[in-house]
Amino acid sequence: MSGSRESRLRGLSWPLVVLACALAVAGCKEKAAPSGAAPPPKPAIKGGLVTFAAGHPQLAALKVAAVRDLDNVPVEMTGRLVWDENRTVRIYAPLAGRVTRIGVQAGDTVKAGQVLAWVAAPDLGQAQADASRGAADFALAEKTLARVKDLHENGVAARKDLTQAEAEHARARAELERAQARVRLYGGGAGIDQTLAIKSPISGTVVERNLNPGQELRADQGAAPALFVVTDPSRLWIQIDAHERHLPVLRKGGEFAFTAANYQNTVFTARLDVVADFIDPQTRVIRARGSVANDDRRLKGEMLVTARFSTAALGSVGIPAQAVVFAEGRQFAFVERANGAFERVEVRIGEEHAGQLVIRKGLSSGQRVVTDGALLLQQVMQAGRSRLEAE
Per-residue pLDDT reduced to its tens digit, 274-289: 999 999 999 999 999 9
Higher pLDDT, 262 or 313: 262
Q: Is the same domain home to 224 and 250?
A: no
If asked whether residues 48 and 169 sit together in one domain, one would say no
Distance CA(274)–CA(286), nearest Å, equals 11
Cβ atoms of 92 and 200 closer than 8 Å: no
Q: Determine the Cα–Cα distance for residues 48 and 378; give it in Å rounded to an integer.
A: 10
Give the contacts of 194 (CB within 8 A, at least 6 positions apart): 97, 120, 121, 122, 124, 125, 128
CATH number of the domain to which 145 belongs: 1.10.287.470
Strand partners, 75: 309
Question: Which class for 123: exposed (0-12), middle (13-18), buried (19 or more C-beta within 10 A)?
Answer: middle
Closest to 186 measured CA to CA, from 135, 125, 124: 124
CATH code for position 106: 2.40.50.100
pLDDT of 293-340, one tens digit each?
Answer: 999 999 999 999 999 987 665 567 889 989 999 998 999 999 999 999
Q: Are 144 and 156 found together in one domain?
A: yes
Q: Does residue 28 lie in a domain region?
A: no
3-state SS assignment for residue 380: helix
User: Does residue 13 have a pLDDT over 50?
Assistant: no
In the sheet with 317-320, reading across from the earlier edge strand, the strands are 68-69, 317-320, 356-361, 348-353
Domain boundary residue, one of 310, 333, 356: 310
337 shares a domain with 302: no
Do 219 and 153 share a structural domain?
Answer: no
Contact 177, 171 (CB under 8 A): no
Number of domains in the chain: 4
Q: Which domain holds residue 50?
A: 44-73+315-390
Q: Let me know whether 207 and 110 are in one domain.
A: yes
- Residues 113, 226 share a domain: yes
Neighbours of 236 (CB within 10 A): 23
Residues belonging to the chain: 391
Tens of pLDDT along 109-128?
Answer: 999 999 999 999 998 888 88
Domain of 240, CATH number, reads: 2.40.30.170
If asked whether residues 223 and 94 sit together in one domain, one would say yes
**306 lies in the same domain as 236:** yes
Task: Yes or no: say if 202 and 87 are a contact pair by the CB < 8 Å rule.
Answer: yes
Q: Which residue has the higher pLDDT, 360 or 197?
A: 197
